[in-house]
Structure 1
Amino acid sequence: MGLHTILLVHAIAAILLVGVTSENTNLKVVAVNNSTFIAEQSVVPTKRSFRPGTTQNHEERTIIGLDKVATPLKTRASKIAHAAKLKFWLATKQSPLDALAKLKLNNGLKDALANPKLKVLEEYLAMLNNKYPQNQVSLLGTLATHYDEDVLANALSRAKRYENTKDIATRLQTEQLEGWLNSQKSVNDVFTLLKFKEDGVKFMINQKPHILDEYVKLFNLKNPQQKSYAFKAIMNGFGEDKLAILAWKASQDRRRSLSNTATNIEYILFQRWIFKRYDPATVLIKVFKVDENRLRHAGALEKSVVAEYKPIYNRVMGLDQVVHVVNPRRS
């Protein structure tokens, strides 16, 4: 029996019940041969005063009664339909990605992570795992397969900021980081996996440095003898020379968030060079691999980086101070 049919039957029953109980009839009871039966029904109604709104009140009570009947029926029918749908998917061997598409969770991670249907997908994946224990699937793996792991990582890091997605994003990010660790990925491996190079200067304003830093903390906790650092991984990943040029380019950008981050990266590199006592010429030779006999032929970008480094180097080394030498008078 369909949902509408069930509701209709109960609705009619409720209406009839209200009609019977609200009808005030006057029945004459006659005794014949020591038995009682209804002889006739008076067509004259009993006297009663009319109260405004009585009919409306009856209608309201009827509607409320119907709502009380209909709501549980709708809930039950919805649960039955939901269970039947998942069983049908299982019987027809719908893949995790098929289910993702059917639930319309494949049109962007921001919306998907906030969508209650994500729980439905998890429920279906649990059914798949129960039926095919040798081929385990997960919500994290399904999302990573569709969206790519680096995109998912970035979205999870952002979603942790918002109350409605904080819990699910935190749980999935923990699973992701621990998954990388359990598969023995190095910090450099994660740098590559997150596709920093493909982002170019954009990595300075997305979540990937934060994600890498979170992984470094986890990695160092498990491997204290192999301590690593996020910035070192980024520098090694890009190459010190390329990172320096990238940072200089981004420092010229009008977007303050980008230029500020780029400037911070420049200063970290400059501190590194000062610690190694690299003067501007040495930076060209050691960092940018320019032939020391052809320093004048260094590229424009390399010269721009060194030009920005030079006054800082001179200030730290005290070379920007002008020394005045006074020659004594000859007698």
Structure 2
Amino acid sequence: MEKLLSNPNFRTFMGFIDDYNVQNPGNGATVIKSVTATYGDDVAAAVLQRATKVSATKVTAEKLLGDLRVLWLTDKRSPLDVFKLLKLDDVATNPLDNAALDAWESYLNLFNYVNRESGKKITELETFRAAYGGDDALAKMLQQATKVSATKVNAEKLLGDLRVLWLTDKRSPLDVFKLLKLDDVATNPLDNAALDAWESYLNLFNYVNRESGKKITELETFRAAYGGDDALAKMLHQAARVSTTKEAARNLLRDQRNRWWGEKRTPLDVFKLLNLDKVASNPLASPALDVWNSYLKSFNYWSRGTGRETTTIDTFTAAYGDAALAKIINTARTVPETEKMATALQLQQFALWMRKRGNPNNIYTHVFKLDPKLKTIPEPYQTILNHYHSFYKQFIRDVK
């Protein structure tokens, strides 16, 4: 259609339609109907809009665009109807970079003018929100559009309007976080374009409410959205392994550790907070364990010289008890992903037993509470005691 307007035959066709309508009043034949029937409203609007910027086709294009707006009005098309008709709701594209958007905006203005007595003015943002089916998809599109020079200004304006709307609706940062579906545990919210839109709203919200004396933080919202530190820690740990979200994840993990320290949480407190004390699971396979290890190191550094320092094995033992922990470690040794870590932890446990209880017979009776009269030691105790016996003999040899 690009060359249609400059084609002499097209101008002849336009003249023919005008003459035909004079001779057949009420017939309703129009050039624009023929054009849209052939090319579709979306293609016609985009091409005509571009043609208004070319001196040779400007007059013709503006006339046809006017006819197109009248056609939509006659057909009782709402701005949302036309938005979709022009395929501006295609989430795979940037509608702000579509020439048809200018045609739609002109129709929006005309529609509001014609319906001015209704007292209800339809806004650009209102239509975008309805077309995109929610603020999450719209925020993503707009945030990405701010990175394109040709659409940056328009996108930032719409994002500003969106933030003002949330404020007017009294949305908290947590409300907007969920509205943008940033609390979806199956995804990495730090890699979601909508996060930037949310952070801008968080800053605006705190500024507007600065007299309240309560500043809402990013971490506070993430914790509330994820229902606790354990789910959040797992997500952040995984996000820290992704190059595009590594820095943001590490910053939040640091904030999380600082918060625990500020709340006077011990490593055992955080161990339980991260649900690492659940006997039914393998805590060594949990992504949250790395987060806990980082806190343990920070805690010991911050507590140096106070006597509050602690160790991994002390915390595990306090959380599970000797016998339950021994069984967990034994099971974890059979899992390739946790074998190395479990073996190291078992050696720490055996060293602890050596200091407290000594020979294998004491472990048999005092830790596992087994009957000395048993002829066969049940599993997993037999395997654990075999490992400990080897450790014990090696220790005795080394001492001698």
Q: Tell me, yes or no, if structure 1 residue 138 matches structure 2 residue 217.
A: yes
| Partner residue, 2:336 | 256
| Partner residue, 1:80 | 157
Moved more, 273-282 or 238-247: 273-282
Whether contact under 8 Å (2:357, 2:363) holds in the other structure is: no
Query: Which of 228, 237, 241 is residue 319 of structure 2 equivalent to?
Result: 237
User: CA shift at 1:288, angstroms?
Assistant: 3.0
| Partner residue, 1:49 | none
SS of aligned partner of 2:278: helix
Whether contact under 8 Å (1:156, 1:172) holds in the other structure is: yes
Distance 1:19 1:318 in 2: 98
User: CA shift at 1:178, angstroms?
Assistant: 0.5
Q: Tell me, yes or no, if structure 1 residue 15 matches structure 2 residue 94.
A: no
Whether contact under 8 Å (1:150, 1:193) holds in the other structure is: yes
Moved more, 86-95 or 125-134: 125-134
| Partner residue, 1:98 | 175
Residues 126, 296 of structure 1: CA spacing in aligned structure 2 closer, same or farther, 3 A cutoff? farther
Distance 2:162 2:311 in 1: 49
| Partner residue, 2:15 | none
Residues 16, 191 of structure 1: CA spacing in aligned structure 2 closer, same or farther, 3 A cutoff? same
Moved more, 144-153 or 162-171: 144-153
Distance 1:259 1:227 in 2: 27
User: CA shift at 1:277, angstroms?
Assistant: 5.9
Number of aligned residues: 265
Distance 2:302 2:396 in 1: 40
Describe how 1:53-72 pairs up with structure 2 within 5 A. none
Deviations 1:55-113 (A, max 9, x none): xxxxxxxxxxx99xx97663322111111011101110123332123222122264212
Residues 109, 131 of structure 1: CA spacing in aligned structure 2 closer, same or farther, 3 A cutoff? farther
Q: Tell me, yes or no, if structure 1 residue 228 matches structure 2 residue 310.
A: yes
Whether contact under 8 Å (2:185, 2:235) holds in the other structure is: no
Residues 263, 14 of structure 1: CA spacing in aligned structure 2 closer, same or farther, 3 A cutoff? same
Runs (5+) with no aligned partner, structure 1 = 1-5, 21-65, 320-331
Describe how 1:135-284 pairs up with structure 2 within 5 A. 135-147=214-226, 148-198=228-278, 200-224=280-304, 225=306, 226-251=308-333, 253=334, 255-276=335-356, 278-284=358-364
Deviations 1:166-219 (A, max 9, x none): 110011111111011111111211111111022744321223332222112222
The one-letter code of the counterpart of 2:54 is I
Describe how 1:25-64 pairs up with structure 2 within 5 A. none
Residues 140, 10 of structure 1: CA spacing in aligned structure 2 closer, same or farther, 3 A cutoff? same
Distance 2:385 2:296 in 1: 31
User: CA shift at 1:289, angstroms?
Assistant: 4.5
The one-letter code of the counterpart of 2:248 is I
Distance 1:175 1:234 in 2: 24
Whether contact under 8 Å (2:188, 2:235) holds in the other structure is: no
Moved more, 266-275 or 187-196: 266-275
The one-letter code of the counterpart of 1:270 is F
Q: Tell me, yes or no, if structure 1 residue 108 matches structure 2 residue 161.
A: no
| RMSD over aligned Cα atoms | 3.3
User: CA shift at 1:14, angstroms?
Assistant: 1.8
Whether contact under 8 Å (2:182, 2:195) holds in the other structure is: yes
Residues 118, 19 of structure 1: CA spacing in aligned structure 2 closer, same or farther, 3 A cutoff? closer
User: CA shift at 1:299, angstroms?
Assistant: 6.0
Residues 9, 238 of structure 1: CA spacing in aligned structure 2 closer, same or farther, 3 A cutoff? same
Whether contact under 8 Å (1:154, 1:208) holds in the other structure is: yes
User: CA shift at 1:318, angstroms?
Assistant: 4.4
Distance 2:329 2:181 in 1: 40
User: CA shift at 1:240, angstroms?
Assistant: 2.0
| Partner residue, 1:123 | 200
User: CA shift at 1:275, angstroms?
Assistant: 4.0
Distance 1:199 1:18 in 2: 76
The one-letter code of the counterpart of 1:228 is T
SS of aligned partner of 2:188: helix
- Return the index of the structure with the highest Cα Rg: 1
TM-score (norm 2): 0.58
- Aligned-pair identity (%): 23
